[in-house]
């Protein structure tokens, strides 16, 4: 095991005189504190939680059987995947033109738009969710405005249902699809599109056959990231949703905290974990690991 800084091969003096076996482990001591922290307070508790899913109340797979056959839980899975899917699609449709605009705007305006996106992204999640709770409530600004202009007669139910969750989460996820898409669009050489136009392509053909295909890695990276993040979201669904719109993360919290059913909680956590890791593996496999950036906690 390596130890203090003086055994690092890094200090520049030729390491020729040193035994190779010792050099092989150089630097390991440096990563040890972080490794031990994660081993004890990350890997150990997560593995213990997952084990409880097959050990409690009796050893076996009955928790998973219950999870997959009970209609209440099926509804939770349906909610989770529906919201994640709709949010991903909505963020992508709303975010693509913005990413495109960011890639072509003159510097000063692009910087301003970036500022707005980052401000929204960095603002506390609870603060942003609170904003939507107030905006979407029965007597909220949105309902009042719609009634004032005569579009509706009675307030729309925009909160405590899937509509509320979807609006709130799209708001939160938009930056996570705009940023990777922008990076991809930015990297496309404008000359490629000039070439398309010289070859006789009109705007639509240039978009459809050149720009869109070239932007697909960014589209895939952004949407996979938003989808994965949405699957495990907790705060926004809990505050903007209702009893019938429960999502997987809330279910896990409730099973453990209110019902003290650690076996079922572990099983639900196991499912969420497996789906998340599988989608992440897909991302790494097809898009390279560099694209998955900050997840953000929700």
Partner 1 sequence: MLLTFERMGALRWILVLWGVLVAAFLLLPVLFIVALSFGSSRWLQFPPPAWTLRWYQELLADPRWLDSILTSFKVAALVTVASVLLGLLAAFGLVRGRFPGREVLRAFFLTPMILPVVVLAVALYALFLRVGLNGTLAGFVIGHLILALPFSIISITGALEGFDKAIEDAAVVCGAHPFEAKLRVTLPALKLGLFGAAVFSFLVSWDEVIVAIFMASPTLQTFPVRIWGVLRQDLSPVIAAASSLLVLLTLVLMAAAALVRRGSRR
Site for partner 1, residues 53 to 92, rule: CB under 8 A: none
Which one of residues 54, 86, 89, 94 is an interface residue with partner 1 (CB under 8 A)? 94
- For residues 175 and 99, give the distance between their C-alpha atoms in angstroms, rounded to a whole number: 10
Nearest distance from C-beta of residue 259 to partner 1, angstroms: 12
In whole angstroms, how large is the CA radius of gyration of the chain? 25
- For residues 98 and 109, give the distance between their C-alpha atoms in angstroms, rounded to a whole number: 12
Q: Which of residues 136-165 bind partner 1 (CB under 8 A)?
A: 137, 139, 141
Under the binding rule (CB under 8 A), the answer on residue 126 touching partner 1 is yes
Under the binding rule (CB under 8 A), the answer on residue 131 touching partner 1 is yes
Phi, psi of 153 (to 5 degrees): -100, -40
- C-alpha distances in angstroms, 45 versus 6, 38, 49, 75, 165? 35, 10, 6, 28, 30
> Residue 94: is it exposed, middle or buried by C-beta count within 10 angstroms (0-12/13-18/19+)?
middle
Under the binding rule (CB under 8 A), the answer on residue 30 touching partner 1 is yes
Under the binding rule (CB under 8 A), the answer on residue 235 touching partner 1 is yes
Under the binding rule (CB under 8 A), the answer on residue 105 touching partner 1 is yes
Nearest distance from C-beta of residue 76 to partner 1, angstroms: 13
Which one of residues 3, 10, 57, 157 is an interface residue with partner 1 (CB under 8 A)? 10
- What are the DSSP calls for 97-166, one per residue? HHHHHHHHS-HHHHHHHHHHHHHHHHS-HHHHHHHHHHHHSTTSHHHHHHHHTTS-SS----SSSHHHHH
Nearest distance from C-beta of residue 165 to partner 1, angstroms: 15
Which one of residues 89, 113, 156, 163 is an interface residue with partner 1 (CB under 8 A)? 113
Q: By rule CB under 8 A, what string of x and - marks binding of each residue 185-224 to partner 1?
A: x--x-x--xx-xx-----x--xx--xx-------------
Q: Which distant-in-sequence residues (6+ apart) come within 8 Å of 100 by Cβ?
A: 181, 185
Nearer to partner 1, 58 or 124 (CB): 124
Under the binding rule (CB under 8 A), the answer on residue 28 touching partner 1 is yes
Where does this chain touch partner 1 (CB under 8 A) — which range of 59-67, 69-77, 78-86, 167-175? 167-175
Tell me which residue of 191, 186, 181 sits closest to 91, measured CA to CA: 181
Which one of residues 120, 152, 278, 286 is an interface residue with partner 1 (CB under 8 A)? 120
Binding residues for partner 1, total number by CB under 8 A: 107
């Amino acid at each position: 095991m390596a130890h203090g800084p003086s055994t690092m091969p890094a200090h520049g003096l030729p390491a020729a005189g040193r035994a190779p076996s010792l050099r092989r482990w150089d630097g390991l001591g440096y990563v040890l504190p972080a490794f031990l922290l994660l081993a004890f307070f990350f890997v150990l508790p997560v593995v213990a939680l997952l084990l409880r899913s097959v050990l409690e109340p009796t050893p076996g797979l009955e928790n998973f059987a219950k999870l997959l056959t009970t209609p209440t839980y099926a509804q939770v899975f349906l909610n989770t995947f529906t919201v994640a899917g709709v949010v991903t699609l909505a963020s992508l449709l709303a975010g693509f033109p913005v990413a495109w605009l960011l890639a072509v705007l003159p510097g000063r305006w692009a910087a301003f738009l970036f500022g707005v996106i980052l401000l929204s992204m960095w603002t506390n999640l609870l603060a942003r969710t609170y904003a939507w709770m107030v905006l979407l409530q029965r007597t909220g600004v949105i309902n009042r405005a719609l009634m004032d202009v005569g579009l509706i007669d009675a307030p729309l139910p925009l909160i405590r249902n899937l509509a509320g969750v979807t609006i709130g989460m799209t708001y939160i996820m938009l930056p996570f699809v705009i940023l990777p898409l922008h990076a991809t669009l930015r990297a496309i050489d404008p000359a490629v599109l000039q070439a398309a136009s010289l070859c006789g392509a009109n705007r639509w053909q240039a978009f459809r056959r050149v720009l869109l295909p070239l932007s697909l890695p960014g589209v895939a990276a952004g949407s996979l990231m938003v989808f994965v993040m949405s699957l495990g979201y907790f705060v926004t669904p809990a505050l903007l949703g209702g009893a019938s719109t429960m999502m997987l993360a809330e279910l896990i919290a409730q099973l453990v905290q209110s019902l003290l059913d650690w076996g079922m909680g572990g099983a639900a956590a196991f499912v969420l974990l497996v789906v998340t890791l599988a989608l992440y593996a897909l991302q790494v496999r097809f898009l390279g690991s560099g694209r998955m950036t900050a997840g953000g906690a929700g």
